[in-house]
Chains A and B, each alone.
Chain A
Amino acid sequence: MTPIDQLTGVLQVRPGRQRPAALSGMRPDWAATLARGRAASALPDTLAALFSLCGQAHRLCAGAAVGAALGREYASAAAARPLRAETVREHLRRVLLDWPGQLAPAASHDAQQALAGCPAFRAGTDDATLARWAERHLVGQPLAQWLDERERDAGAAWARWCAGDGWLPRLMRDVCRHAGTPVTAGVALRIHADEDGVRRLADALRDDATFTRRPRVLGACAETGSWTRLNDSGPMPRSASERLAARVAELVRLLLPDAPARAGTQWLRSGALPLAPGEGIAWVEMARGLLVHHVVLDGGQGDARVEHCRVLAPTEWNFHPDGAVAQALEALPDDGSPDTLRRVSALMAAYDPCVRYELPDRHEESTHA
């Protein structure tokens, strides 16, 4: 493990082993450590600098939690645009950089070409330019038509699209061959759907400092991702490939013009709740799933300092040692075969941990056992 790994954490993945050995490792709770005693007004920038790849979501969430603690009204409309822009970029990084590398190296050349012309990473790009680029380089048809077809019959539309031309349909076709195995879904994490749920979450975060590392909802493990949005009323995906499909579908939704509860800046939701003077909680639906920040300040004024800050990120729900990924890993054979390794890659890409993962050497482990 490198010094950087020691700071960020690494997941140890052992397909075919019984839980908790199937999935272990925990990342340090740096937000709690680094936030304590800082000026509340500096918390959004501090957490954005710490979690730089999804810094906008953390900045918005921390700002909303601090605002709630100070009794300020939360304006979700102001967060919608930056949240969408960052989520689009994150999804594009997965699709253009990670998936070809991890799932289908044959697609790397085409993905690289698409990436080179991708306007999402250039300043000042307008929505229409980005949508046209996606139609040409990712989806191969008008985005609105793609989404209409998916909403009519998701399974049939996906099968038809994967059978078509284009590097991304080819990649997904290839992935579906070894990632279509059913995965026992965890509870869909929609605890932010009502105030009672958010208050329950706040109680757990306030009373249990370890809750952010091993979260449960009503005693059960839950999963979160593009497929558990409040605006998504569809059934839970049944496999890793259906979760990858959910990410592509969300990317399409985000690139379309605004439509209430359906597309554009009106797809992802966020919210905040004052809990007591100096205490607030906020949540945002970010690229990997639901992000929650809970803060307690030493006062209710603008010069308050942070007494405690809890950050509950999607990775801790999805990669819980008893969660959906751990169960899926346990169900795989312990044979180290190329097929098993491909299925592991697809599973990890579908749930997308925000830390590195590694498969310990099976032979080395048995030698040392």
Chain B
Amino acid sequence: MCLAIPARLVELRDACQAVVNLGGIRKQVSIELVPDACVGDYVIVHVGHAIGMIDPEEAERTLALFGEMSAAAAAAGAAQ
């Protein structure tokens, strides 16, 4: 999908695997496509692969947008 939450890389593992934190959920992904990724970096995850790194500033911007979206969705739900 076009909308993707940035995931924070929290642990490097063997064989190009890593653990990311995706919206509070820990998930193992392949980092074959982002071999330079380090713990603390933000990546975009698609079908079990980290498909690209994004700089922290952009990641923060995206996370802030998702925060706005969640708040708007909650407000809309409360109004119904």
Enumerate chain A interface residues (CB-CB to B < 8 A): 3-4, 6-8, 28, 30, 33-34, 45-46, 49-54, 93, 97-98, 101, 115-116, 118, 121, 313, 353-356
Asked if residues B33 and A52 are in contact (CB atoms below 8 Å), the reply is: no
State which of B5, B51, B72 has its C-beta within 8 Å of the C-beta of A33. Answer: B72
Which residues of chain A are near B69, meaning CB under 8 Å? Answer: 7, 28, 30, 33-34
Q: Which residue of B lies closest to A45 (CB)?
A: B61
Q: Which residue of A lies closest to B58 (CB)?
A: A49
Asked if residues A51 and B65 are in contact (CB atoms below 8 Å), the reply is: no
Asked if residues A121 and B47 are in contact (CB atoms below 8 Å), the reply is: no
State which of B2, B34, B47 has its C-beta within 8 Å of the C-beta of A51. Answer: B2
Asked if residues B1 and A354 are in contact (CB atoms below 8 Å), the reply is: yes
| CB of B47, distance to nearest CB on chain A (Å) | 5
Which residues of chain A are near B72, meaning CB under 8 Å? Answer: 33
| CB of B75, distance to nearest CB on chain A (Å) | 11
- B55-70 to A contact mask, C-beta < 8 Å, 1/0: 0001001100110111
Which residues of chain A are near B5, meaning CB under 8 Å? Answer: 4
**With contact pairs A93-B46, A116-B32 given, residues A49 and B4 touching in the complex (Cβ less than 8 Å):** no
| CB of B11, distance to nearest CB on chain A (Å) | 21
**With contact pairs A4-B23, A45-B61, A53-B46 given, residues A121 and B70 touching in the complex (Cβ less than 8 Å):** no
| CB of B2, distance to nearest CB on chain A (Å) | 4
Q: Which residue of A lies closest to B5 (CB)?
A: A4
Asked if residues B49 and A46 are in contact (CB atoms below 8 Å), the reply is: no
Q: How many CB-defined contacts (below 8 Å) exist between A and B?
A: 77
| CB of A318, distance to nearest CB on chain B (Å) | 14
Question: For the complex, what is the distance from the CA of A110 to the CA of B6, rounded to whole Å?
Answer: 28
Asked if residues B62 and A52 are in contact (CB atoms below 8 Å), the reply is: yes
B38 within 8 A of A: no
Question: For the complex, what is the distance from the CA of A279 to the CA of B44, rounded to whole Å?
Answer: 33
Asked if residues A3 and B46 are in contact (CB atoms below 8 Å), the reply is: no
| CB of A38, distance to nearest CB on chain B (Å) | 11
Question: For the complex, what is the distance from the CA of A341 to the CA of B76, rounded to whole Å?
Answer: 35
Asked if residues A8 and B3 are in contact (CB atoms below 8 Å), the reply is: yes
State which of B3, B33, B65 has its C-beta within 8 Å of the C-beta of A121. Answer: B33
| CB of A55, distance to nearest CB on chain B (Å) | 9
State which of A7, A28, A101, A355 has its C-beta within 8 Å of the C-beta of B47. Answer: A101
B54 within 8 A of A: yes
**With contact pairs A49-B62, A50-B65 given, residues A8 and B1 touching in the complex (Cβ less than 8 Å):** yes
Question: For the complex, what is the distance from the CA of A117 to the CA of B54, rounded to whole Å?
Answer: 21
Which residues of chain A are near B3, meaning CB under 8 Å? Answer: 7-8, 30, 50-53, 354-355
Asked if residues B2 and A52 are in contact (CB atoms below 8 Å), the reply is: yes
**With contact pairs A7-B66, A28-B73, A53-B46 given, residues A93 and B1 touching in the complex (Cβ less than 8 Å):** no
Asked if residues B46 and A97 are in contact (CB atoms below 8 Å), the reply is: yes
State which of B23, B33, B52, B66 has its C-beta within 8 Å of the C-beta of A115. Answer: B33
5 contacts between A and B (CB under 8 A): A7-B70, A45-B58, A50-B3, A53-B4, A121-B33
Asked if residues B46 and A7 are in contact (CB atoms below 8 Å), the reply is: no
Mark out the residues of chain B between 1 and 22 whose CB falls within 8 Å of any chain A CB in the assembled complex. 1-6
Question: For the complex, what is the distance from the CA of A355 to the CA of B61, rounded to whole Å?
Answer: 21
| CB of B34, distance to nearest CB on chain A (Å) | 8
Asked if residues A98 and B66 are in contact (CB atoms below 8 Å), the reply is: no
Asked if residues A52 and B73 are in contact (CB atoms below 8 Å), the reply is: no
